[in-house]
Amino acid sequence: MQRNKITRRTVLQALTAAAGVTSLSENGTAANEKGNAQLKTAAREPNASEMTTDTVLWYRRPASGWLEALPIGNGRLGAMIFGGIAQEKLQLNEGTLWAGGPHDYTSPEGLQALPEIRRLVFAGEWGKAQNLVNAHFLGRPGSQTPYQTVGNLTLTNMGGENASDYRRDLDLDSATARVSYTRDGVRYTREAFVSAVDQVMVLRLTADQPGKIGFRLAFDSPQRTTVATEGTNTLVMKGIGGEAHGSPDAVKFQAVARVLPEGGSVQADQSAITVNGANTATVLVSIGTSYRDYQDTGGDEAAEAQRYLKAAEHKSYARLREAHVADYRKLFRRVSIRLGPEGRPREKDTVHSTDERVANYKDGDDPGLAALHFQYGRYLLISCSRPGGQPATLQGLWNDSVDPPWGSKYTININTEMNYWPAAPTNLMECYTPLFHMISDLAVAGRRTAKGLYGANGWVCHHNTDAWRGTAPVDGSFWGMWPSGGAWLCKSLWDHYVFTLDRTALKQSYPLLKGAVEFFLDALVEEPSHHWLVTCPSISPENGHHPDASICAGPTMDMQILRDLFDAATQASEVLGVDAEWRARVHTMRARLAPMQIGRQGQLQEWLEDWDAGAPEQNHRHVSHLYGLFPSSQITKIGTPDLFAAARKSLETRGDPATGWSLAWKINLWARLQDGDRAHKLLADLLTPEHTAPNLFDLHPPFQIDGNFGAVSGVTEMMLQSHAGEIHLLPALPTAWPDGAVTGLRARGAFTVDVAWQAGKLTHASIVSHSDAPCTVRLGDKVLKFSTVAGKRYVLDAGMRHPPS
Ligand code: FUC
């Protein structure tokens, strides 16, 4: 226990030191250990009444397209609900339905070509180097396989289209989607959710008069499928995912829908179920696939689908719903947010539907929409990334195609990492689990690639991966020749630790961190001019430094990622008390990595050479070298003022206009630059129809979910930061949000933080400690330091000096 305390302190001190903060107490009204006695402690958790009403998306019309439909999911099963009147459509997904099958993409010719590729890069013969990568180093095949849709469940013959008082909504507080309307004097209601407890999708149809429910239920799919009925009330669709890029089809699936009507009649023909004159009907949907893991597709899809269905069909609708809502709320209700004055008129969200709010959003005009978007992002993460499922893809869990944009895969040169930026700060640690499982897989699959391409130990993963845990470079040298994807993913393992100080979890992560470092210990090379250690070949993701040339050695981002990786692994080894000698070696190598450099225009250089001003795309969507500012904390206002100014210069040069996920990254960057108004300006840009669909999906046209998650993280960073060895309250509060409150955010050092403000000034904050770690809190120039006891709440007043009376 004692040892534990010491190591936690060590990590916090290291975090502080990394930010260059030496003596916080000199900066402001510091409290000393004695001052702690004055801090009021209490044990109170946020309760449901603190939840705001900014948690409902609603619409006046059925969805006319997929980007108007509403997503539900349990991390494995997902659906997009269209909410029609005469007919309903649920577009279905299961997280393991991918095209192709188990495959190692590593080229057998790569290792032989590597010395010449490196020679060409250092000789500045980039075109030739890229050609050689394309010919010998790239994956076999050179593209990975897509994530795919299961198909659709449709309800037709539901009566006429003529209805009044139509409303379609998604309640983020209960994770249920609803449709209601009145037709011929009858009020009809449909409700749907996907339960993580029971692993089924549930659709309930009711009316306020008996005998009014009738429909025809059928499956359709762009996959190769067969549909049959079983008994009078069950519909079964069997199919197999597609082949892709020569990788044969392997994932079999089975979707089963069972109708449980009350009253009326139910009958089956060859491929559909018909319900007539029922009082209510519940439709249970269960889907299984044969995917067991990235190496094995021999599972029994039928048994899996049937097992969940059998267990669920004996439970009442009310019981299924109650279990679902209770389970979901455990995560969702950890955080509440209000942007706007307390008890304000709710005109915006009661009078205007969600799509109208997006269409009319103006800077500062509707802070409630920003709050809704924030909670929607948390809802999406809970709904697409739960233990037992696959990580969030480029579209989370929701994809209606067999050939979606970028395969709806895992692009790990920004997109997958961005998906998980809100996990720790918005108190959704469990949502990391599928990502951590994927990293464990990559740490095995990536060993073959490390050996096969680089003759190196450890593991490597390039810029993309898929259900088969492809780790070799793909998609062409210009975009794919980047060896640092796995290393970046590892940051999430360390983030989990610094946010929780959970030593048990760190013990599990440590071999993954160590394996990632081992690769670079072998694969780094010395560059000729300064003798720094660098990656080669590499790229600064997807950005060319000269026309048609992205290949280079030691781009700034790689060096930043490696410093974080090496620090995570060495600090983990310290916390766990292992590998002292190895740690010393890693420290030595770290010291030789190329440093961040400030270029001719005062910018943070993107590459080893000062090529920035001449690079062909000055407004490129990737801002890779600014990784050091966010998500990393290598660049801070107090710790590294020169680099801080240089990062700002680089961000200014890139400009504001960008695609969805890039805007989202920039919100985080401006928040780290402590410019709340600029961060808010970018958020306002994002919350317009150009970047946000009617269903609030982020557009990288058509849809990419990273922008949703990145924006949640950005809004969090505007209200609370904790990367510089201190909890910074309201570091980038925009003038557009003079009043507000947020509860339940997590801060590094294992704290939960609530903050409230009025007229742009803190009114109070409270901090619950989850370990016995010391706490440093900053508000503007004021800094307060105190020791904490696990389980205690520390309440701070507007001046941070003593608790409000
Ligand atoms: C990155 C981006 C693209 C796209 C793709 C999925 O590589 O550069 O814009 O988002 O991932």
Q: What is the pLDDT of residue 42?
A: 38
Write out the DSSP string of 413-430: TTHHHHHTTTTTTTT-GG
Cα dihedral 30/34/37/38 (nearest 10): -40
With a 6 Å cutoff on the Cβ, whether 543 touches ligand 1 is no
Query: Residue 309: which of 256, 272, 268 has the closest Cα?
Result: 256
Ligand 1 centroid–CA 411 distance in Å is 7
Q: Could you report how far apart the first and last alpha carbons of the chain are, in Å? A: 35
Cβ of 658 below 6 Å from ligand 1: no
pLDDT score, position 49: 39
Q: What is the pLDDT of residue 507?
A: 98
10 Å CB burial of residue 635 (0-12, 13-18, 19+) is: buried
User: Ligand 1: does its nearest atom lie under 6 Å from the Cβ of 482?
Assistant: no
> CA-CA distance, 711 to 401, in Å (whole number)?
25
**H or E element that contains 295:** none
The reported pLDDT for the residue numbered 340 is 84
From residue 134, alpha-carbon distances to 444, 478, 616 in Å are 25, 9, 22
Residue 376: CB within 6 Å of ligand 1? Answer: no
**Alpha carbons 71 and 68: distance in angstroms, whole number:** 10
Report CA torsion sign: 455, 458, 464, 465: positive
Q: What is the pTM of this model?
A: 0.94
For residue 447, give the DSSP letter: H
- Tell whether ligand 1 has an atom less than 6 A from the beta carbon of residue 700: yes
User: Alpha-carbon distance 176 to 667, whole Å?
Assistant: 30
How big, in percent rounded to 5, are the helix, strand and coil portions of the chain? 35, 25, 40
Separation of CA 803 from chain center? 36
Stretches in the chain below the pLDDT threshold 70: 1-53, 343-350, 363-364, 802-805
Phi, psi of 787 (to 5 degrees): -85, 160
480-529: pLDDT as tens digits: 999 999 999 999 999 999 999 999 999 999 999 999 999 999 999 999 99
Mutate which of 621, 665, 698 to test ligand 1's pocket (most atoms within 8 Å of Cβ)?
621
Nearest atom (ligand 1) to Cα of 463? 7
Test site for ligand 1: of 475, 481, 704, most ligand atoms within 8 A of the Cβ: 704
Cα distance between residue 720 and residue 742, in whole Å: 10
Separation between Cα atoms, residue 239 and residue 223, nearest integer Å: 7
Judge whether 367 and 718 are in contact, CB under 8 Å.
Answer: no
Between the CA of 269 and the centroid of ligand 1 the distance, in Å, is 46
Ligand 1 lined by 412 (C-beta under 6 Å): no
